[in-house]
Structures are given as C-alpha cells and as structure tokens.
C-alpha cells in the first residue's frame, strides 16, 4: 500500500481534482490510501467564519458562509458532468453549509470552532469520492474521525490509530482505493479536534507509519525540496534525496513544502516519504528516508522569519547549577518553544518565534538579571554533513557571510546544521551569498 497526500492547491479547482485520478492510477501498488486537505482557501474562510461567530457577528458569519457556499456551487457544477453526479454534489454541500449556518443558534465555544474548521476536509474528500463514483471507479470513504485520535497532551495515540484503522480497512478486503481526511481527528474526550495547521502531512505520515506502507507521497505544487528558497534566490535546484534529520531541519527552519512534525512518525517506523509535484508528473521530487546519500556535503539552505532574540545577563549564572533549568521553565509555563540558544559564563541568549506571551516572559526573566530583546530577526539554517570529523564546512559558511552582521551562531547542537541569526533586512543577502559560495 502507498499513502498519497494531496494538499489544498492540488484540489484547489475542479480541474486540479480531476488530475488526481491519473496520478493515483500511475502508482505501482496494489492499494492506495488517499489523504486530502481542504480545497485551497477553504480553511482560511472557515477560520474567518469562526472568528465572526466568536465575536457574536452572526450577520457577518452568514455573509461569509454564503460567499463560500457560492464558491462551492460553482465548483460542483464544473466537477460533475452528469445529472446524478451534480445532485450528489449538491446534497453534500447543502448538508455541510446547513451545518455551518446552524451555529448561529448556539453558544459558540472552542468546541464549535473545531467542528467548523473540520468541514473543509469533509467537503473535499466527500466530493472526490462522489466524483470517482460518477467515473465508475470504486472507492471507500474512510472517516478520519473514526480512527485518528490525539491524547490529552495533543499527541497522536498511535496504538489507537493503528488498531482502529486496521478494523476499518478490514471491512473492505477487496477494495483497493481508500480516501480519508487530513488534519482532522478526535481528542482524548471524543470531541472533534485537529492536528493544527499543516496537519494533512502529519495525517499521511501517521497513517503510513502505523500501517508500515511501502511509501508516503506528499503531492504539492513544487518539485521537492530545493537547495535554497526559489522565491528569492535564482538557479536553485531540487534535492534528490534527504535523510529524515535533514528534512526535519529544513522544514523546521523555514522550508514551507513540508510541515516540520510530519516526518517524525515516518522516521520512527522507517517509512520513506517522497515529495512530488502535481504540476510536473515527470519530476523525480525528493525522497526522504533513513538512507541519505549526502555524506560530506552541504545540502540546502532555509530561512525562518519573525524571530525575536532574548539575552539574559546575570552574575548568578557563574558556576551555578540549575540556572538554565529555571530559565527554561519560564518558557515552558507559557508554552513557548525555543529555536536557538547560546550561553557564556554570565549570559544566555535564545530565540523564539511565538511572541504571544513575550511581555509575561520578560517580566519573569527580569528576576534572573537584566534582559535585552531584539526583534525583526531571521534564522538562516545551513543543512548538511557537519559531523565533528568533517573539516572546512563551517569555515566556508563563515566566509560566505563575513560581510553580514551575525547576532548568534548555533553549531554543534546537531550533526546536520549550522544556524545563523541575522537582522531580517540582511536575510536575502545572506541567502544569496551562501548560495553562491556553497553551490
């Protein structure tokens, strides 16, 4: 079995949705499980509707629902070619949009918000299922809410997912094509929930991992990981192969093609992940596995924007154990992850990209010493083979950016990257200088 995940742009129009079938047919596998995101733009619209309901703006929510409904009316008229198909499509969208309108009569809480956000994936998968039916192709629509579950820590319950998914698949021993929703799940209390943004990649990886499939394919609108950001740097090239560790570093530090969490389940169960392009079926894409061929090479560069640096200067650090633990506990209390960290005898500098609780964090950190905050920064991540027996790579990196002010450097925390913190206004210059020097 292969798991094929298609993102929002891959189902963003009736023409795009129609192109999924030849892609699925082209796969050399006995069975396929297709994971779909919501149609492009739908999740953003649903977020807006939720915000309007939460504010009590029922008229605004009704207008937004009507606008999205009109989009789907046009969508199904273009997707379905028969009267029966169009009728089935109308019944699908009527059901889901009646549900959305029904929230105007209820108290709107976070529970209702999660139900609203789930409608995008439920719509796309059901419409695709009926499109295949119209084409005379047998498929099974599996409800992700029947098997995808997270625990009280918001982590996937792998044992539950595996057991329930195997039960669902066993009901259809002769079927070869299955469709399910990305992103959505149930939480530990049985309520509708989600895997957060980017969760469709995560869904595909989780399914592939627990079923031990031969391959997970992530289909997007770009031909795999590139060795730099093609939006800003000319002459970038796709990368043929990456290790799980390299892919995770690139995804975390800014490469938007893959959600950072999505490689971890596949990595744990050693299931290969392949990134492919729906717009160029001949492109080989990028294969992510435990067998990278990138030894002794610098592979790629990525950048992460919106970074804030915090420096705590304190004489209490000198020869003191437990100091860093107490600092980290402040960030833990406010559920704010740290990206980079460097220390000296009397100071610690670290970076964050979530600033929702910055004021509260700074207030608590002032207890330890003087605190300085710098914002509008970017992390440049250079990914490759930086094991301690490799010579010269760090020197090449430093020479490439010697004319750019560096706020922090992180080297040695991983065998796969060097991270540089630079002012955001120097990000593009850093990306291009590194690219010219390294590639």
The domain spanning residue 345 has which CATH number? 3.30.2130.10
Cα 8 from Cα 43, distance rounded (Å): 9
Q: What pLDDT score does 294 carry?
A: 65
Annotated binding site for substrate: 43, 121
Is residue 264, in this structure, part of any structural domain at all? no
Q: How many domains does the chain have?
A: 2
Share of the chain above pLDDT 90, in %: 71
Band (pLDDT 50/70/90 cuts) for residue 390 is low
State whether 217 and 306 are in the same domain: no
Question: What's the mean pLDDT in 214-232?
Answer: 90
Q: Are residues 192 and 326 in the same domain?
A: no
89 with 184, same domain? yes
Q: Is the pLDDT of residue 302 over 70?
A: yes
Which domain-ending residue is among 187, 221, 255?
221
Whether 311 and 167 share a structural domain: no
pLDDT at 203 over 80: yes
Task: For residue 320, tell me if it sits in a domain.
Answer: yes
User: Based on the domain organization, do 67 and 208 belong to the same domain?
Assistant: yes
Binding residues for ATP: 5-8, 220-221, 231
Q: How confident is the model at residue 28 (pLDDT cuts 50, 70, 90)?
A: confident
Question: Does residue 177 share a domain with residue 30?
Answer: yes
Higher per-residue pLDDT: 344 or 335: 335
Of 77, 1, 61, nearest to 35 (Cα)? 1
Distance (Å, whole) CA 25 – CA 21? 6
Residue with tokens 């633990």: 325
The torsion angle over the Cα atoms of residues 403, 352, 194 and 303, rounded to 10 degrees, is 0
The stretch 220-234 carries a mean pLDDT of 89
Is 407 or 105 the better-scoring residue by pLDDT?
A: 407
Mean pLDDT throughout 101-117? 92
SS3 readout for 82-141? CHHHHHHHHHHHHHHHHHHHHHHHCCCCHHHHHHHHHHHHHHHHHHHHHHHHHCCCCCEE
Q: Does residue 235 lie within any of the structural domains?
A: no
Q: Based on the domain organization, do 184 and 325 belong to the same domain? A: no
- Which of 47-61, 88-102, 312-326 is least confident? 312-326
Task: Tell me whether residue 41 is in a domain.
Answer: yes
**Do residue 36 and residue 181 come from a single domain?**
yes
Band (pLDDT 50/70/90 cuts) for residue 135 is: very high
Please give the order of strands across the beta sheet that includes 298-313.
341-343, 347-352, 298-313, 370-384, 417-423, 408-411
Same domain, 212 and 71: yes
Looking at residue 282, what is its pLDDT? 87
Residue 252 burial (10 A CB sphere; 0-12, 13-18, 19+): buried
Asked if pLDDT for residue 387 goes beyond 80, the answer is no
Q: What whole-number distance in Å separates Cα of residue 364 and Cα of residue 311?
A: 13
Q: In this predicted structure, what is the pLDDT of residue 413?
A: 74
What's the mean pLDDT when you consider all of the chain?
Answer: 91
Q: Which CATH number does the domain housing residue 217 bear?
A: 3.40.1160.10
Give the tens place of pLDDT for each residue, 137-175: 999 999 999 999 999 988 999 999 999 999 999 999 999
Instruction: Please report the pLDDT score of residue 224 as a whole number.
Output: 87
208 in the same domain as 66: yes
Query: How far is Cα 184 from Cα 143, in angstroms, rounded to an integer?
Result: 10
Q: What was the pLDDT predicted at 246?
A: 87
In a domain, 147, yes or no: yes
Query: Residue positions in the annotated binding site?
Result: 5-8, 43, 121, 220-221, 231
189 lies in some domain: yes
Mean pLDDT to the nearest integer, 322-328: 87
Among 199, 221, 243, the domain-final residue is 221
Task: Specify the higher pLDDT residue, 209 or 297.
Answer: 209
The residue range of the domain holding 75 is 2-221
The continuous run of DSSP H or E covering 375 comes out as strand 370-384
Residue 267 is assigned to a structural domain of this protein = no
Both 11 and 132 in a single domain?
yes
Residue 272 resides in a domain: no
Residue 223 binned pLDDT confidence (cut-offs 50, 70, 90): confident
- Lowest average pLDDT, out of 264-273, 287-296, 346-355, goes to 287-296
Assess whether 339 and 190 both reside in one domain: no
The residue among 192, 221, 250 that closes a domain is 221
pLDDT at 322: 80
């Amino acid at each position: 079995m292969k798991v094929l995940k298609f993102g929002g742009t891959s189902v963003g129009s009736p023409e795009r949705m129609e192109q999924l079938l030849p892609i699925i047919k082209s796969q050399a596998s006995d069975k396929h499980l297709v994971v779909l995101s919501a149609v492009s733009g739908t999740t953003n619209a649903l977020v807006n509707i939720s915000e309007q309901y939460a504010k009590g703006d029922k008229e605004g929510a009704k207008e937004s629902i009507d606008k999205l409904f009109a989009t789907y009316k046009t969508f199904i008229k273009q997707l379905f070619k028969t009267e029966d198909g169009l009728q089935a499509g109308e019944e699908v969208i009527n059901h889901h949009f009646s549900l959305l309108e029904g929230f105007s009569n209820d108290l709107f809480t976070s529970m209702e918000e999660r139900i609203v956000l789930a409608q995008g994936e439920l719509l796309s998968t059901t419409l695709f299922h009926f499109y295949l039916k119209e084409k005379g192709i047998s498929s099974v629509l599996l409800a992700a809410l029947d098997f995808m579950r997270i625990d009280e820590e918001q982590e996937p319950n792998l044992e539950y997912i595996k057991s329930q998914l195997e039960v669902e698949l066993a009901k259809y021993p002769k079927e070869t094509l299955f469709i399910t929703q990305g992103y959505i799940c149930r939480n530990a209390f049985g309520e509708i929930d989600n895997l957060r943004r980017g969760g469709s990649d995560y869904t595909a990886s989780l399914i592939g991992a627990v079923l031990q499939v031969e391959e997970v394919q992530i289909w997007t609108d770009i031909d795999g990981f590139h060795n730099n950001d093609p939006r800003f740097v000319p002459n970038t090239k796709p990368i043929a192969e990456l290790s799980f560790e390299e892919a995770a570093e690139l995804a975390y530090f800014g490469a938007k093609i893959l959600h950072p969490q999505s490689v971890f389940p596949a990595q744990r169960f050693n299931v290969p992940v392949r990134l492919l392009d729906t717009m160029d079926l001949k492109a080989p894409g990028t294969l992510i596995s435990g067998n990278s061929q990138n030894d002794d090479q610098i592979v790629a560069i990525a950048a992460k924007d919106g970074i804030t640096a915090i420096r705590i200067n304190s004489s209490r650090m000198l020869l003191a154990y437990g100091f860093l633990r107490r600092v980290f506990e402040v960030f833990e209390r406010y559920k704010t992850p740290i990206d980079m960290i460097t220390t000296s005898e009397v100071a610690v500098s670290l970076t964050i990209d979530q600033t929702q609780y910055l004021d509260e964090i700074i207030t608590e950190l002032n207890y330890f010493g003087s605190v300085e905050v710098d914002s509008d920064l970017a992390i440049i991540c250079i990914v490759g083979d930086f094991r301690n027996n490799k010579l010269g790579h760090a020197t090449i990196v430093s020479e490439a950016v010697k004319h750019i002010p560096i706020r922090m450097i992180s080297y040695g925390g991983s065998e796969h990257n060097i991270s540089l913190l630079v002012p955001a206004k120097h990000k593009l210059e850093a990306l291009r200088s590194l690219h010219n020097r390294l590639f």
